[in-house]
Chain A
Amino acid sequence: MKFTLPWLKEHLETTATADEIATKLTALGLEVEEIVDPTRALEGFTVAHVLEVHQHPNADRLKVCKVATKDGIRAIVCGAPNARPGLWSVLATEGLVIPATGEVLRRAVIRGVESQGMLCSARELGLGEDHSGIIELDPQGLEVGMPASRALGLEGPIFVLKLTPNRADCFGVAGIARDLAAAGLGQRKSRDFSPVPATIEARPRIRLDFPKGHEDACPLFVGRIIRGVRNRPSPAWLRHRLEAVGLRPISALVDITNYITFDLARPLHVFDAEKLSGELVVRFARSGERLLALDGRVYELDEGMTVIADATGPVSLAGVIGGETTGVSEETRDVLLEVALFDPVRTATTGRRLGIESDARTRFERGVDPELVLPATELATRMILDLCGGEAGPVVIAGAVPQRRPPLVFRASQLARLAGITLPPEEIRRILEALGFGVEGGPETWSLTVPSWRPDVTTEACVVEELARLHGYERIPPVSVTRTAAVNPVLLSAEQRRRIAVRRAMAAQGLLEAVTWSFAPPETMELFGGIPVRIENPLSSELSALRSSLLPGLLAAAARNRARKQEDGAIFELGPRFVGDQPGEQVWAVAGIRWGRAQPRHWAAPERSVDALDAKADALAALEAAGVRTEPLITTTDPPPWYHPGRAGRLLLGPRTLAVFGELHPAVLSAFDLDTTVVAFEVDLDGLPKPKPRAGKARPPLEPLPFPPVDRDFAFLVDRDLPAQDLLEAVRAAEKKLLREVRLFDLYEGPGVPAGKKSLGVAVRLQASDHTLSEAEIEAVAQRIVEMAEKRCGAQLRR
């Protein structure tokens, strides 16, 4: 919503400055986005009068004008075709900044003739697009040297408001003025709504025709014939005012409707009565009907849309846009003025479906004041008669003004209860009356008649808002919200704490945390074994399903990074993945990928590519951070199909898969245009064993054993394909009591080891809890280890 200060002052007697008004508007909830003052840019520009025009001696297209200026007679070089003696225009003198270009005007010699200033076009002055010649002023009341902004009738500061959708009334200057007056910024002034008597008998034939139960589509339609008008351009003040709020002046009749739309938030329409045939019917459109609208486009209508139709079909789309064929033109003599009420929801739906944004729709879809229909009819009639002449017929009404809502009971105690403030009864009365409420009762229980222009006020809480707003939110004393317990209880759930721990543990592993879309292309979901949950109205096919895996987002990120020459990387994400389309069918998951080199190239570290065991370490770190004991986990070599079948696996606790990890399948990588090794891990946090809350926090005592431990190393030759885990399991199985640690310290294939075999070095530490081990005991354990390794894994001790 835009309006100008002089326009506001027609509704509000005030001495407040533009800044004071802006501050108050924002405090009232009518947020001022911007104040633009076009007069500021024109400071120093003055009115000049062209006295003589001569041909430039050295240029065919240029003229040298003798101009009366504030500094006396000056010679000015000008190329405008409309420069002629007697013309009043706007002069820029040396040193001024031309608004359109931002350039400072300098003294100039043009083709050998000095120009002592510049006559400006409308575009140069920032007043529109017209650059066909210098601006022409209406000579009436002008004096040489007067400020151009005054001569142009510029409106002064323009306010740009960002209104909330509930304030339908403030889409008109009058509503804004009412709020300001109620807030103490001046006295409200009313327009002249007194009836304009009919001087002719012409009556329009209008009828409402809606199926029973749908009368609310248009409860009231008022028509009035005005004959013998002359539809000229509007006077300058009206044109300037409309231009200031961003409207294009068209003709007096159209401008008047636009003016009242902005003045009172009351859209109305004028038909060229001679172009209408037969009775006007307000009804639902019929399927297949079309309308050529004032914007020059043809719209296909459907049954949900309300139209105004004559004998030929729809002539206007109710509350949205008028029809081209019945619109007014310069030739229009007789008009039909329409002032009606249209249902907000239907208007919004129609506008949205057809993609039409209009000032009428903006207001109708928020709700126009039902009680303003008749007063606005009188105001519009008066303006038309004043500006276009003619004679008005009687006001013809179809339907009726909707009934007022019943009074709203308001208890003053609600103000303290909800807003934390109290106001004296007389202040409550003053504020509500100033806002237009009918106020009875008090001091505790009031009966309020809600003004017809405030459909948004429906509850006591709404009245609290009105009072708090007018009193000022800034005057509500802040009260801190403090916790009720001296020491907070634990406020995060075990799962929430676990997520925080995992996230930080992953970062501690050297992975960078990414946040990628919850969306993914459906075809990639199929690569990861998910059933895509499809979005009906996606922004693009890339974003047209919900992700069932975190990997597509991470892999796409890897590809983008590789394209930016980030050859190595490690990223993870912790977030939801979707396992179904119903609310709650989502799982908290963590996944990470590493690509390229395992570490940056470094003198002390041999260069190697990432491999599945890097991903395994990440998976284990995630599980540990999530509170899972990793010792009992076993690794299996049957990864899901999106992994490399020979270089990936699962981590299992008993029969349950807790994590999958490994190198990704080459086919998956090529789907993401990745031409490097990528390893990944995935853990569903929601699927992990729940952390068990323990009553006692004490840990079992540490019992350091006083007896010396014994370390023994074994080198076993096994088949190349034997999983190392099997050998370690065999070693562990050989001795339950004395074995404190089993560690694989060497893996070797090559010279000295037969083909098809590998050598695994296993270190064990033995320790008894009650005595020092004897050589014989140690030897016996070693013997059992060797036997078990041979029995279970066919391992030979290497000599």
Chain B
Amino acid sequence: MDLEALKREIEARIEAAASLDALEAVRVAALGRKGTITELVKSLGQLPVEERPRFGRLYNELKDSLERRIAERRKELEAKALAERLVRERLDVTLPARERPQGRLHPVSQVSEEIIAIFADMGFSVAEGPDVEDDWHNFEALNIPPEHPARQMQDTFYLSSRDARGQPLLLRTHTSPVQIRTMRAGKPPFRIIALGRVYRRDYDMTHTPMFHQVEGLVVDRRTHMGHLKGCLQDFVRAFFERDDIPVRFRPSYFPFTEPSAEMDIGCKRSKDELVVGEGSDWLEILGCGMVHPKVLAAVGLDPEVWQGFAFGMGIDRVAMLKYGIPDLRTFFEADLRWLKHYGFLPLEVPTSWGGLSR
């Protein structure tokens, strides 16, 4: 038998196999259970004993060589098949992608979290109080006398009903009653902010009957006006994310603080723009002061022992300033276009360590 010829013949068939299936057929014909080569190996037993090792070696070499050749050919055919498949498979990737709609947070929520992040870093926790208040918490305890203009019907929303003791009920006109509730419910020292809705009977270009305030209160044995200045200065610089914001404190008047102040920040006003943090104009952003001794006394704290500061600031207003939102009234209209434009993505979580905003 001419092994060389046999090898050449099978190799030719391997080369000629045009598909993986054809190649498999060639392999089975040669190396399968009844394949030519397999049969050859089986016939070794019929050879003289002394011949067997030599032929055994020859047959094995032949088998190995063909197997190698088949494996190579398989790779070639696989590569060819893959190339053909890839030519066949097509998707127009210029098509618009499937949409996953993104919602957004209202600027008031985002800015509230920014404010919390900053004050939390200074050790403030967040207190809360009701929107419906009684006269005592909203006015009386805050040293606002009955004849004060803020207590009149034209400025404050009153409910038609009264409380159990016959006191008038109203919608809180500021977040300051939360100071009173916090101090009445707990023990000093206090270091809290309180955020929430407040209500005033006013509706025009720059006022809405509902808006948002943040109140701050620090009461301990040693906090003075220097701390008030430092705390609020640190706050505005962190909030507006500019270390160089000029800050000014002016004497002012509130019934519930003494001494009282208003805080201005430097800004530049032009016809239709207001840039915070530069320029020669001043913009008032919050009212503050040392908690009035009568307020401390009203909540049962000895003003000779306890002292501290309080402040109140409009959340909507600082949101407008920081993010350049021109009109307060639009905050409450829920216009989809506005919400998409001025809103914040759910993963833009403000933190003091990672930054408040992008």
Contacts and interface: CB of A to CB of B under 8 A. Distances in A.
Given A461-B293, A583-B137, A557 B334 contact: yes
Given A166-B253, A479-B226, A492 B340 contact: no
Q: Which of A456, A504, A519 has the most chain B CB atoms inside 10 A of its CB?
A: A504
A59 interface: no
A462 B294 CA distance: 12
A515 interface: yes
Q: Which of A31, A465, A482, A485 has the most chain B CB atoms inside 10 A of its CB?
A: A465
B106 A513 contact: yes
Nearest to A28: B251
B109 A537 contact: no
Contact of B334 (A166, A506, A516, A605): A516
B101 A561 contact: no
Contact of A461 (B113, B157, B290): B290
A473 B340 contact: no
B163 A583 contact: yes
A116 to B, nearest CB: 37
B95 interface: yes
- Interface size for chain A: under 10, 10 to 19, 20 to 34, or 35 or more residues? 35 or more
Contacts of B90: none
Q: Which of B125, B251, B333 has the most chain A CB atoms inside 10 A of its CB?
A: B251
Contacts of B339: 512-514, 571
B189 to A, nearest CB: 9
Interface in A552-578: 553-554, 557, 560-561, 564, 566, 569-572, 574-576, 578
Contact of B102 (A29, A344, A510, A586): A510
A512 B120 contact: no
B233 to A, nearest CB: 5
Interface in A115-173: 164-167
B123 A496 contact: no
Contacts of A582: 132, 163-164, 169
Interface stretch (A528-536, A655-663, A749-757): A528-536
Contacts of A572: 103
A504 B160 contact: no
Contacts of B333: 557, 560
Q: Which of B171, B226, B334 has the most chain A CB atoms inside 10 A of its CB?
A: B334
Contacts of B223: 481
Nearest to A481: B231
Contact of A583 (B102, B169, B209): B169
Contacts of A165: 253
Contacts of A15: none
Interface in B34-72: none
B234 A480 contact: yes
A29 B252 contact: yes
Contacts of B261: 473
B6 interface: no
B343 A515 contact: no
Interface string B121-147: 111111010111110010000000001
Interface in B238-263: 248-253, 258-262
Contacts of B104: 507, 512-513
Q: Which of B98, B131, B158, B337 has the most chain A CB atoms inside 10 A of its CB?
A: B131
Contact of B229 (A29, A478, A557): A478
Given A480-B230, A507-B345, A602-B96, A462 B201 contact: no
A707 interface: no
A785 interface: no
A515 B197 CA distance: 10
A536 B106 CA distance: 30
Contacts of A476: 225-226, 229, 249
A569 B134 contact: no
A505 interface: yes
Q: Which of A349, A479, A483 has the most chain B CB atoms inside 10 A of its CB?
A: A479
A125 B307 CA distance: 56
Contacts of A503: 105, 109
A318 to B, nearest CB: 16
B346 interface: yes
B224 A420 contact: yes
Q: Which of B116, B123, B197, B307 has the most chain A CB atoms inside 10 A of its CB?
A: B123
Contacts of A167: 253
Q: Is the interface of B mostly helix, strand, loop or mixed?
A: mixed
A508 B348 CA distance: 11
A585 interface: yes
Interface in B308-351: 331-337, 339-340, 343, 345-347, 349
Contact of A418 (B158, B290, B337, B340): B290
B270 interface: no
B108 interface: yes
Nearest to A505: B346
A483 B331 contact: no
B206 interface: no
B153 interface: yes
Nearest to A495: B128
Contact of A537 (B100, B157, B258, B346): B157
A536 B160 contact: yes
Interface string B197-215: 1010101000001100000
B80 interface: no
Nearest to A460: B293
A418 B147 contact: no
B133 A583 contact: yes
A543 interface: yes
A441 interface: no
B125 A491 contact: yes
Contacts of A566: 336-337
Contacts of B332: 515-517
Interface in B288-307: 290, 292-294, 307
Contact of A478 (B157, B230, B307): B230
A509 interface: yes
Interface string B271-293: 00000000000000000001011
Contact of B108 (A29, A348, A515, A586): A515
Given A512-B339, A516-B332, A535 B103 contact: no
A416 B349 CA distance: 41
B234 A481 contact: yes
A476 B228 CA distance: 10
B290 to A, nearest CB: 5
A574 B109 CA distance: 10
B99 interface: yes
A504 B109 CA distance: 10
Contacts of A483: 121-123
B105 A461 contact: no
Contacts of A553: 334
Nearest to A165: B253
A29 B334 contact: no
Contacts of B106: 513-515
B224 A418 contact: yes
A526 B104 CA distance: 31
Interface in A17-65: 26-29, 31
A504 B346 contact: yes
B253 A462 contact: no
B125 A512 contact: no
B218 interface: yes
Contact of A536 (B116, B158, B347): B158
Interface of B: 95-96, 98-106, 108-109, 113, 116, 120-126, 128, 130-134, 137, 147, 149, 152-154, 157-161, 163-164, 169, 171, 191, 197, 199, 201, 203, 209-210, 218, 223-227, 229-231, 233-234, 248-253, 258-262, 290, 292-294, 307, 331-337, 339-340, 343, 345-347, 349
Given A474-B249, A583-B137, A600-B101, 17 more contacts: A348-B147, A462-B258, A465-B259, A473-B225, A479-B230, A481-B191, A481-B234, A492-B120, A496-B126, A500-B113, A510-B102, A512-B104, A535-B160, A560-B335, A561-B335, A581-B159, A602-B99
